[in-house]
Structure 1
Amino acid sequence: MWIEVILFAAASFWVGLSGAMVPGPMLTVTISDSLKKGSRAGPLVVLGHVIAETTLIILLVLGLGWVIGSQWVTMIIGGVGGVMLIYIGYSIARSPVPEEIPGDGEPIEKRGSVLSGIITSVTNPYFYLWWATVGWAFMLKGIELAGIIGVLSFLVGHWGADLSWYSIVSFFTSKGRGVLPGKRYRIMMMICGIFLVLLGVYFIYSTLIT
């Protein structure tokens, strides 16, 4: 059984990694926060994402899975999520160039990155779509395989993928801060902000035409 559990965790890791590597609001926030706060921003964003996913899993277990499949709920999430992404993108695009970017050994604004991870998760309609389909299917498979141990193996693999990818992105982004002074920093933040704004507009548009 343990071999199957390990293989299941490995499969969950690779499936989670394929999803984590897709560009989206969480990746954009990770890049912008890493430029301002250092390489620890990535794991903190993931922590916020894990908090959001844990809350959603609890709701699914309590029998509220039908809410995710509701068209009205999807429309509300898409609309509100789009507005939130536009606001975050606008804030990032207007963020000033810091006079001194903190190093990895210095304290950083932890709550901001954790909150960003939560917001970019819960305001993304595809977050719910993934959990209503792929995520829930893996949960059920884990229960069938080894009960609670199977579920935990899925979560370890899934969250391990998120943590690995975003930690790598955060590390290399923070190491590149030295070549992004002044104008280059502003350009990078503008790109991140505009991407989130466009993504927010797309979420609202796709909600209206469904």
Structure 2
Amino acid sequence: MFQLLATFFIISLTGALAPGPLTTMAIVEGSRRGKWSGTRLAIGHGLVEGAYVALIVLVLWLGREAILRQPIIAGLIALVGGLFLAWMGLGMGVGAWRHRLSLEGEAAQEAQFGLVPEGSLVTLSNPYWWIWWALVTPLYLQDALAWGIIGLVILYLVHWSTDLGAPAGTCSALAFIVG
């Protein structure tokens, strides 16, 4: 079990340390709201992730893991995520064209829903996250299933420790630098 957990910890770092929307939000909010903003973002991320892991485990338990490896599934995830990112980019482009965006150092708008829900929304909008969990983790989850629910919980907590450490560490460092 230790080898599984150690390996999954290292693999989890490939997701947690990959720059993406959650990292960007942690940088913005860490410099604005201080060191605890990363923890709140990670909690929102973890809530969504826990539900998605439960869904993957259900698929594994039903013996339908081949569904997760179908190219059409990865393609659909990439398409939906890509469309969402294109929509966000288009919104930024239109805002710049209409001179609604400024490069004069104005502060970004504060999170509208609170950092926990926004951590969840940012996670759901990231196609890399969907694909990473669907394609990288099923074998690890299946191995953890041999230890029962305790094995799954421990495996998830090992993973989530990397998710908690990345945004929380970023925000703590920024809060220290910014003052």
Fold similarity call, TM over 0.5: yes
Query: 1:120 & 1:135 partners in 2: Cα distance?
Result: 20
Aligned to 1:16: 12
1:119 CA displacement: 1.9
1:76 CA displacement: 2.1
Q: Which runs of 5+ in 1 are unaligned?
A: 99-107, 179-210
Aligned to 1:134: 136
What SS is found at the alignment partner of 2:114?
A: helix
What SS is found at the alignment partner of 2:35?
A: coil
- Trace 1:49-198 onto structure 2 (pairs within 5 A): 49-63=45-59, 66=67, 69=70, 70=73, 71-84=75-88, 96-97=106-107, 111-144=113-146, 146-178=147-179
Q: Is the 8 A contact 2:57 2:141 kept in 1?
A: no
1:43 counterpart = 2:5: no
Q: Is the 8 A contact 1:121 1:127 kept in 2?
A: yes
Q: CA RMSD in A?
A: 3.1
Query: 2:21 & 2:140 partners in 1: Cα distance?
Result: 24
- Count of residues in correspondence between the two structures: 162
Structure-2 change in CA distance of 1:156 and 1:86 (3 Å): farther
Q: Which runs of 5+ in 2 are unaligned?
A: 96-100
Q: Under a length normalisation based on structure 2, what TM-score does the superposition of the two structures give? A: 0.75
1:30 counterpart = 2:34: no
Query: 1:72 & 1:15 partners in 2: Cα distance?
Result: 24
1:47 CA displacement: 0.8
1:160 CA displacement: 0.6
Q: Is the 8 A contact 1:46 1:162 kept in 2?
A: yes
Q: Is the 8 A contact 2:35 2:171 kept in 1?
A: yes
1:8-60 Cα offsets, whole Å, 9 max, x none, are 33332222123211211111100101111110000111111111112212332
Q: What letter corresponds to residue 161 of structure 1 in structure 2?
A: T
Query: 1:165 & 1:72 partners in 2: Cα distance?
Result: 28
Query: 1:58 & 1:164 partners in 2: Cα distance?
Result: 22
Same amino acid, percent of matched pairs:
25
Query: 2:89 & 2:58 partners in 1: Cα distance?
Result: 29
Structure-2 change in CA distance of 1:120 and 1:126 (3 Å): same
